[in-house]
Amino acid sequence: MSTCTHESMTNHHVAGLWERFAETLGLWLQRYQARRELTQWSERDLHDVGLSWSDIVREVEKPFWRA
């Protein structure tokens, strides 16, 4: 039988928080990079996916934390 001490429970909780924090930072970085990549698309690329430059401007102007 194992016992959980306050210290082991706290360390596990902190590790979980750091993991979620790292995942969130990774997601924010992906959004930032994808939005910057959109600015490099040609008119034809935009037309092929049904987007306009105003759509791109609206997306790129979003803060990285907004989906």
Q: What is the pLDDT of residues 29-58, one digit of tens each?
A: 999 999 999 999 999 999 999 999 999 999
Place of tokens 């924010």: 28
* Residue partners of 28: CB distance under 8 A and separation at least 6: 64, 65
Radius of gyration of the chain (CA): 20
Question: How far out from the chain centre does Cα 35 lie?
Answer: 11
pTM above the 0.85 mark? no
Q: Hey, is 50 helix, strand or coil?
A: coil
Give the CA dihedral 50, 53, 54, 56, nearest 10 degrees. Answer: 80
- Across the range 2-6, mean pLDDT stands at 60
